[in-house]
Amino acid sequence: MAEISNKLTPNVSLQGEQAYEAAIDLIIENAQHELLIFDQDLSLGAYSTTKRYEALRTFLAKNRLNRLVIVLHDPQYLLVRCPRLMGLLKIYNHAISVHVTDEQLKSIREVFVIADQSHYVQRFHVDEARFIYALNNPIQVKPLNMKFAELLKSSSESVSATTSGL
């Protein structure tokens, strides 16, 4: 995967699942305070892997004030296939929130990860592994930050570390 990350070019359209996962790795590695994830269900992007778990755990462990906010259309994959992330939610329940979009937003098919309002990876459509990413580009990230804020506003926090929180 390190070879793939060396071949990633920021600010151009890229393609491929492994390259997409490597771009997410870069965004998480560069995050210092805040990670915002909007995804259909976390089934793409290697969220169920040990590597992604370790990257997110490292980010959260850097500082007690670090935050991870996830907005999903469907939380089922997270609940069933991502036990490590659910474990993080239990350990870092003060720092992680998981929200589910309202029904009217389910037609949004892009996915993205934003770090510190400066770095991002945006997959144009969930069914195609075509994406763009950038580091240290707050101007380019601004529309995605605004979109994330709208998605969050129209979502409800509905996933917790315990099944009683569902």
- 128 vs 17, 36, 125, CA distance in Å? 9, 21, 6
For the cut 50, the answer to whether the pLDDT of residue 43 exceeds it is yes
Mean pLDDT to the nearest integer, 149-153: 96
Rounded Cα gap, residues 14 and 8, in angstroms = 8
Summarize pLDDT for 48-82 with one digit per residue, the tens.
999 999 999 999 999 999 999 999 999 999 999 99
Rounded Cα gap, residues 95 and 88, in angstroms = 10
Is residue 14 very low, low, confident or very high in pLDDT (cuts 50, 70, 90)? very high
b/e for 100-111, b at 16 or more Cβ within 10 A? bbeeeeeebeeb
Is residue 88 classed as helix, strand or coil in its secondary structure?
Answer: helix
How does the average pLDDT of the chain come out, rounded?
93
Rounded Cα gap, residues 95 and 12, in angstroms = 32
Rounded Cα gap, residues 71 and 155, in angstroms = 8
For the cut 70, the answer to whether the pLDDT of residue 149 exceeds it is yes
